[in-house]
């Protein structure tokens, strides 16, 4: 259904032309236009609108999404129903209000410094040799020179693949942007460089871009299937492994003469933006953060995996870019408390919002993020 759908496209197409058909013969349940659903969401009384539209990422098909019934976005639509004569049954489920998890972050407090130091110890690892190997090279990609490097992970005798992109020509060591991807990385079996088109301007601007294959993503699949935090040891353990994967990536940068380990930024996309409230508090070799459509999650994990305990310890210069109507990370109850709780001094953090939902206009993304990186990853 989803692979053949009109997702991440350029506009609507006539129904039935995409070959996206489910086993009952229903066309275009995924993509093309989102479809309004009758059910309301508690507590904000919005309506579900499902399936994803032509301008949504491919993982939108599997997401539960809601927005104001007055929203008239270009990718919003509906599906007509042909009633079967004599079938007047109306399932009660059509009218059920769906309760979603919610946390009032204004009423919560982080743990103290002494307790937090115990949390940090979970992320410690021995700085063993990387044993780096180059598995493949592709010199002429959209993001520049693409090299696939594998290093020893910090746990379990595993190997950590790194996708390293560099400008075709450069002088001196390059500043580095380490990317943490969106939740689609949990669903896909292999990384496709096309997924980084959103940040392809970074190599053109003179930055090296590294995407580690974090535990549970792409070909490193595990039992974890969703990006939502859970109150389980398994989720906590994955968070610790993500922190160690980030640390080993920085170790690799430090091992390279052509990369500048004193100028490293964290770039979190959606799920990666959410984790941008945690991982930079653990990895202090990160010098600046750019968080794209980020915010607090409303699920409550174990305290040692809860962002509220880490965000005040994120002290690097941080830029947050958000959509004003984001359902996953609502502006006032998710984005704002995350931004205000950041431990970064006020003069070194910025939160900008734009019309729209779980996205930011590309022009704004390029202009704001490049200006931020130039300001905080400058030489000297």
Give the mean pLDDT per block of 10 residues along the chain (380 residues). Answer: 86 90 89 91 83 83 82 88 76 81 95 98 98 95 95 98 94 95 92 92 97 98 92 98 99 98 98 98 99 97 99 99 93 98 99 93 97 90
Are residues 18 and 138 located together in one domain of the fold? no
Residues 347 and 325: beta-carbon distance below 8 Å: no
Domain final position from 74, 100, 126:
100
Q: How far is CA 12 from CA 16, 22, 52, 295, in A?
A: 11, 19, 12, 30
Query: Domain holding 309: CATH number?
Result: 3.40.50.1820
What pLDDT sits at residue 263? 98
User: Which positions ≥6 away from 62 have C-beta within 8 Å?
Assistant: 2, 187
Residues 6+ apart with CB under 8 A from 103: 296, 298, 300
Question: Does 134 lie in the same domain as 37?
Answer: no
Please state, in angstroms and rounded to a whole number, the distance separating the CA atoms of residues 6 and 3.
9
Residue 284: per-residue pLDDT: 98
The confidence score (pLDDT) of residue 91 equals: 75
Q: Residue 292, Cβ neighbours under 10 Å: how many? A: 24
Residues 323 and 210 in one domain: yes
pTM: 0.89
Domain span including residue 56: 1-100
Residue ending a domain, choose from 100, 115, 147: 100
Peptide bond before 43: cis, by omega within 30 degrees of 0?
A: yes
pLDDT at res. 288? 99
How many domains does one find in the chain? 2
| Distance between CA atoms of residues 162 and 210, nearest Å | 7
Q: Cα–chain-centroid distance for residue 206?
A: 23
> What ranges make up the beta strands (E) of the chain?
34-42, 47-50, 66-67, 76-77, 98-99, 133-141, 144-152, 159-166, 174-180, 208-212, 259-269, 288-292, 318-323, 349-354
Same domain, 74 and 166: no
Show the tokens assigned to 216: 């549970």
pLDDT tens-digit map of 271-291: 999 999 999 999 999 999 999
Query: Among 82, 100, 118, where does a domain finish?
Result: 100
Q: State pLDDT tens for residues 45-82.
A: 889 889 989 888 777 787 778 888 888 888 899 988 87
């Amino acid at each position: 259904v989803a692979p053949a759908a009109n997702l991440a496209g350029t506009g609507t197409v006539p129904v039935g032309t995409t070959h996206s058909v489910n086993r009952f013969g229903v066309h275009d349940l995924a993509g093309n236009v989102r479809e309004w659903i009758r059910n309301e969401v508690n507590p904000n009384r919005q309506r579900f609108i499902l399936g994803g539209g032509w301008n949504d990422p491919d993982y939108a098909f599997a997401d539960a999404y809601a927005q104001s019934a007055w929203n008239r976005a270009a990718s919003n639509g509906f599906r007509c129903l042909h009633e079967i004569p004599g079938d007047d049954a109306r399932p009660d489920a059509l009218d059920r209000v769906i309760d979603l998890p919610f946390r009032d972050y204004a009423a919560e407090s982080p743990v103290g410094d002494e307790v937090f130091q115990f949390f940090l110890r979970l992320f410690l690892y021995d700085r063993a040799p990387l044993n780096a190997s180059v598995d493949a090279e592709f010199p002429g990609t959209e993001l520049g020179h693409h090299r696939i490097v594998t290093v020893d992970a910090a746990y379990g005798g595993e190997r950590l693949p790194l996708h390293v992109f560099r400008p075709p020509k450069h002088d001196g060591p390059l500043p580095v942007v380490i990317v943490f991807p969106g939740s689609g990385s949990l669903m896909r079996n292999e990384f496709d460089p096309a997924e980084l088109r959103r940040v392809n301007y970074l190599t053109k601007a003179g930055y090296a871009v590294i995407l580690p294959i974090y535990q549970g993503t792409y070909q490193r699949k595990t039992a974890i299937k969703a990006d939502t935090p859970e109150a389980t040891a398994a989720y906590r353990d994955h968070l610790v492994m993500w922190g160690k994967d980030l640390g080993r990536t920085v170790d690799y940068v430090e091992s390279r003469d052509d990369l500048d380990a004193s100028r490293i930024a964290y770039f979190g996309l959606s799920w990666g933006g959410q984790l941008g409230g945690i991982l930079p508090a653990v990895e202090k070799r990160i010098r600046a953060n750019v968080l794209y459509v980020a915010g607090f999650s409303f699920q409550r994990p174990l305290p040692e995996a809860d962002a509220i305990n880490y965000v005040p310890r994120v002290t690097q210069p941080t830029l947050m870019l958000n959509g004003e109507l984001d359902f996953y990370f609502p502006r006032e109850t998710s984005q704002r408390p995350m931004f205000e709780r950041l431990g970064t001094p006020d003069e070194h953090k910025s939160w900008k919002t734009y019309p729209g939902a779980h996205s930011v206009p590309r022009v704004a993304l390029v202009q704001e993020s490049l200006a931020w990186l130039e300001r905080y990853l400058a030489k000297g």
